[in-house]
Amino acid sequence: MQPNTTSAAIRRRRTSPVASIGIGTTGACASGGMWGSSDTEGQRIRAAARKHPLRSAVTYLSDPMASQPTPFQPVTHATARGLRWIDGHLDLAYLGLNGRDMRATVPATAPHALTLPALREGGVRVALGAIFTECGGNPATEAVAYRDSDDLEGAHRAGLAQLEWYEAMERAGEIAIVRTRRDLARALAGEGPLGIVILMECADPIRSPDEVAWWHARGLRVVGMSWAHGSRYSGGNARAGGLTPIGRRMVESLDASGILHDASHLSRAAFDELLATSNARVIASHSNAAALLPDSERHITDAQIAAIRDRDGWIGLNLYGRFLAHERRATLADCVAHSMHIARIVGASRVGLGSDLDGGFGREQLPLEIQSPAEYARLLEGLENAGFSALGGTVDGYTHANLARVLDASLPS
């Protein structure tokens, strides 16, 4: 989820988890062409795409049955469905509770890009599905909101509603919650629906460190202790400060339950204190390089990237345009620049995609060439042209195996 999230961007409504998943409804529209046909934005995007076509309709295919990493090999873009992706960050429950029909296909002219059929179209087999709650909202009218970090019950209720949304989607057969290594392997193999590893983005819904085991039993497997605004446990990228005393206890509880740490929204101080407090593995589920956009603590520094390397962690590329480039439309080249910069430090075996699609922003803020999960495959061509394989990178690794290795190490058997 991005800091520019506004109530105007996503129309909130109070609704029950079961009602909101749209059971009994049908997909609103048939999938059309990739680009819109009537709206001005769509026309501008189409025109820009004609001016800047990819060098060729080339992408890369990985063999799902191969036991060895597949080297880069050119095939046609139409084979993108042969890829298996793990997307390291998606705000599915937040969007679902705010009224998006996650079972519908995405109309060609829609301002958004993310639904479950769109993920299937793109070959996404597993995603880290966020529980993202809004601090400072009105819990009386917004299903995802709580008053402030002292509103323990409000935060808990908002977080639980999103957990229940994932559980309801699982009962409906739309997703399978990944609780174990076996679940992860099954989802990656395409046995069943989209696998969801539940990730909490800001730990305020966990009322106390003593409650971590309960959340783990309900399926929580990854926690970022803070979002931008900070939490009871930690400073955030827009609020200075390190771990609070209860935050240190929270780190111990997360480690005791084997829950993976997500550093994407931590303040610099909180990041350093987390690593000083815990020996555990750390990921940044949706973070880009501060060396390329040095204006904000939202992006990770080279020193942080090196620290994640030393913990054998993983870093996912965020596709939000403002986190890729300033004062112009982000492009595939920006995505490649961030991924390559990070890969040179953290290692090509510890990078991948954490798209954040489209949490608080619309398609117009996605990179020009990547307007849907079906176009994630274009990243692979750009990476190869930039020398990703020379760094030891592979298609399998970038698309899924790098993150799968880290998840496998932290999931119960």
Residues of this chain that interact with Zn ion (CB under 5 A) are 1
Q: How far is the CB of 101 from Zn ion (least distance, A)?
A: 23
Q: How far is the CB of 265 from Zn ion (least distance, A)?
A: 6
Q: How far is the CB of 245 from Zn ion (least distance, A)?
A: 25
226/402 with CB nearer Zn ion? 226
Nearest to 207 by CA among 176, 224, 232, 239: 232
Place of tokens 């590329």: 317
The rounded distance, in Å, linking the Cα atoms of 272 and 103 is 40
Q: How far is the CB of 46 from Zn ion (least distance, A)?
A: 30
184/200 with CB nearer Zn ion? 200
The rounded distance, in Å, linking the Cα atoms of 10 and 359 is 9
Place of tokens 């992006």: 299
118/357 with CB nearer Zn ion? 357
Q: How far is the CB of 285 from Zn ion (least distance, A)?
A: 8
Strands 234-236 and 74-76: unpaired
Strands 314-317 and 239-243: unpaired
1/177 with CB nearer Zn ion? 1
70/339 with CB nearer Zn ion? 339
Q: How far is the CB of 260 from Zn ion (least distance, A)?
A: 16
Q: How far is the CB of 195 from Zn ion (least distance, A)?
A: 20
Residue nearest to Zn ion (CB): 1
12/84 with CB nearer Zn ion? 12
Q: Write out the DSSP string of 271-310.
A: HHHHHHH--S-EEETT--BTTTSTT-TTSBPHHHHHHHHH
The rounded distance, in Å, linking the Cα atoms of 57 and 304 is 36
Per-residue CA distances from 393 to 3, 311, 346, 397, 398 (Å): 31, 19, 12, 7, 7
239/344 with CB nearer Zn ion? 239
Q: Any residues with CB less than 8 A from the CB of 133 and at least 6 apart, and which?
A: 94, 144, 145, 146, 155, 158, 159, 162, 202, 204, 205
The rounded distance, in Å, linking the Cα atoms of 205 and 250 is 12
Q: How far is the CB of 58 from Zn ion (least distance, A)?
A: 32
Q: Any residues with CB less than 8 A from the CB of 24 and at least 6 apart, and which?
A: none
Radius of gyration, alpha carbons of the chain: 20
224/373 with CB nearer Zn ion? 224
The rounded distance, in Å, linking the Cα atoms of 281 and 275 is 9
Q: How far is the CB of 272 from Zn ion (least distance, A)?
A: 20
320/398 with CB nearer Zn ion? 320
Q: How far is the CB of 286 from Zn ion (least distance, A)?
A: 6
Q: Please name every residue paired with 75 in a beta bridge, in sequence order, or none if there are none.
A: 59
- Which DSSP state fits 72? P
Place of tokens 């809004």: 134
1/169 with CB nearer Zn ion? 1
